[in-house]
């Protein structure tokens, strides 16, 4: 099956399984192994319920979202800090965290704005979503293979397990995840990946290869174990030795 992806209204991961997914009404814990854009590897658990999710994004941060209270916690492991507040404010908080951490990089982006504009135009004109005939088993679940591409700028391989009901988070959370991208084309890449969550099911493996005028790299992750046990309240807490920041 092949279709051009044109809707930007429903945007996450995140190549990332940045959605809340539950089979029936059960909680879901996905243990996953990540390879970050800088080549480092890590293992973390993602948690999903019908009201909450805790996920790792491409920027290495964790995002804890509470759909009932419309609150989000941004955990920045690189600086051992975290912020908690209304989801409507979180995108600006993430942008400020980025500006503090990557000021030199932001100057380079400003110098190359025209180049970014050209890349974005080409990017938007070449977005395609394909489902292949390939299948494989990941963490005990049969998964189908999807490829999302935007010309030469991005190739995203996604393996999706069917049988999961997807509960989409608030649109404000999409803006939070997009704010984690450092350059304009990077935000478009994240926007496209968030749109790809319309593929039914739970993503259990994904690899994203991308290229922008200032960055190129690969981000990947794969589930190693999926459980549906009741999730402990401690799963939603921030590390106790991290500093809470007020911005």
**Tens digit of each residue's pLDDT (9 = 90 or more) over 190-247:** 666 666 666 778 889 999 888 777 777 888 999 999 998 999 999 999 999 999 988 6
Top pLDDT among 136 and 124 is at: 136
Average pLDDT over every residue of 24-43 = 86
CATH number, domain with residue 89 = 2.50.20.10
Whose CA is closest to 207, among 148, 136, 162, 130?
Answer: 148
Average pLDDT over every residue of 72-85 = 90
How many domains would you assign to the chain? Answer: 1
Task: Give the confidence band of 172 by pLDDT, cuts at 50, 70, 90.
Answer: low
Cut 0.85: pTM above it: no
Q: Domain range spanning residue 185?
A: 2-244
pLDDT for 8 beyond 60: no
- d(CA 190, CA 165) in angstroms, rounded, equals 22
Whose CA is closest to 39, among 219, 222, 214?
Answer: 219
């Amino acid at each position: 099956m092949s279709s051009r992806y044109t809707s930007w209204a429903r945007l996450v991961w995140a190549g990332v399984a940045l959605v809340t997914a539950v089979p029936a009404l059960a909680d879901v814990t996905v243990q996953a192994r990540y390879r970050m854009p800088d080549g480092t590897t890590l293992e973390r658990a993602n948690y999903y319920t019908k009201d909450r999710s805790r996920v790792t994004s491409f920027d290495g941060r964790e995002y804890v979202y509470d759909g009932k209270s419309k609150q989000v916690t941004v955990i920045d492991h690189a600086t051992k800090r975290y912020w908690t507040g209304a989801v409507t404010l979180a995108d600006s908080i993430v942008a400020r965290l980025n500006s503090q951490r990557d000021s030199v990089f932001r100057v380079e982006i400003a110098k190359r704005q025209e180049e970014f504009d050209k890349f974005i135009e080409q990017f938007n004109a070449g977005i395609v979503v394909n489902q292949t005939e390939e299948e494989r088993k990941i963490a005990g679940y049969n998964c189908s293979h999807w490829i999302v591409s935007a010309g030469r700028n991005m190739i995203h391989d996604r393996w999706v397990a069917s049988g999961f009901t997807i509960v989409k988070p608030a649109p404000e959370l999409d803006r939070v995840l997009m704010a984690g991208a450092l350059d304009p084309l990077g935000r478009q890449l994240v926007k496209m990946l968030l749109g790809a969550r319309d593929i039914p099911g739970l993503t259990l493996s994904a690899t994203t290869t991308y290229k922008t005028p200032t960055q190129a790299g690969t981000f990947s992750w794969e589930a190693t174990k999926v459980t549906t046990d009741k999730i402990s309240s401690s799963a939603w807490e921030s590390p106790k030795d991290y500093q809470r920041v007020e911005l």
